Amino acid sequence: MERPHDPAARPCDFWMWDGTFEYEGSVAKLADPGFTAHLRETRRAAGSGAGRRVNTTFFDLQRQFAGRRFLAFCRLNGEPRLQEVEITSVQRSSTLDFEFFVCGRFWEIDDPEEALRSLPAHLRNDAG
């Protein structure tokens, strides 16, 4: 079942990217270095994923998120900066504004300049 998507419905204070897909969300709990957050896939271009089916099985969600590392930015994490995030668990979000509920952990990035160069162009322009 498709969930309605209203980007203005809830503010986003969390963003992450895996090299292909971009996600935005709202932090539910922040306890350094861990966090929980509600996420949705960011759809930048018209037709880039609108109407795409969200993975619904436990195994599909684990394969999509768990154990993987993402570049992330959290506005609520003390001094906001680019960090690495590892997702430890994921499930479908019970909040209609979001698709996923994730638990994870923040990691410091050894070379922030190198990480910034790996970001998509539209994000590099916003960060610099």
- Set out the domains of the chain in order of their start, with CATH numbers: 14-127 (2.40.10)
Could you read off the pLDDT of 67-101 as tens digits, one per residue? 788 989 888 877 777 888 999 999 999 988 899 99
Could you list the pLDDT tens digit for every one of the 128 residues in the chain? 334 444 444 578 999 988 888 999 999 998 878 999 999 998 754 444 444 556 568 888 888 888 788 989 888 877 777 888 999 999 999 988 899 999 999 888 877 677 667 666 665 555 44
Beta-bridge mates of residue 14? 25, 74
Which of 38, 36, 40 minimizes the C-alpha distance to 88? 36
